[in-house]
Amino acid sequence: MTRVIAGEAGGVRLAVPKGTKTRPTSDRVREAVFSRLDHLDVLAGAVVLDLYAGSGALGLEAASRGAARVVLVDQHRGALAAIRANAGALRAAGVSAQVEVSGESVARYLASPAGPPGADVAFLDPPYDLTDAELAAALAALVAHLAPGAVVVVERSTRSPEPSWPSGLRAEGERRYGETRVWYARHDQVAP
């Protein structure tokens, strides 16, 4: 069972996509990621991008914990059905964040011009079969969509190498949780 861990919608159950290779981020990993984000004090009023959203668990957890706007991007029908159902469950629980769902590929979404404000937090939890080159291209395109000082969180298998960080993103460490590895990076440009 996947659920929202904390915040306004803590305990709300989340649907998991059917007919996809989605592997929802475990509660343990989400708790660790959000503990770090809480420590960095980046969630309150934040704009959040959840790329390769799957069930939307990461972005919706951010909405429950105080993000102002969350954009969930995934192109698979099963994922989109789950994301829309989960966004509805958060609205029913009284979460006030603006939640948007984009049914296009991450590459296409990132190729479109970035509108203000830029994202304060970006999650990338791509399918394991996404190549390292495709991930590097997504990270390079993501930089234009980030606010100064934004935090980027990449989740992959422990067998995956560290992402190739493009100019504009500075690596800030990694953590392992069983078969999952999470990397953190920061947008080099710092808010004035």
Two tokens, residue 191 = 């808010």
pLDDT of 156 > 60? The answer is: yes
CA dihedral 185, 103, 38, 120 (to 10 degrees): 60
**Greatest extent of the chain over all pairs of C-alpha atoms, in Å:** 45
Two tokens, residue 111 = 């190729």
pLDDT band at 19 (very low <50, low <70, confident <90, very high): low
pTM: 0.93
pLDDT band at 11 (very low <50, low <70, confident <90, very high): confident
Task: Locate the domains of the chain by residue range.
Answer: 2-187
- pLDDT tens digit string along 25-66? 778 899 999 999 999 999 999 999 999 999 999 999 999 999
The CATH H-level (homologous superfamily) assignment of domain 2-187 is: Vaccinia Virus protein VP39 (3.40.50.150)
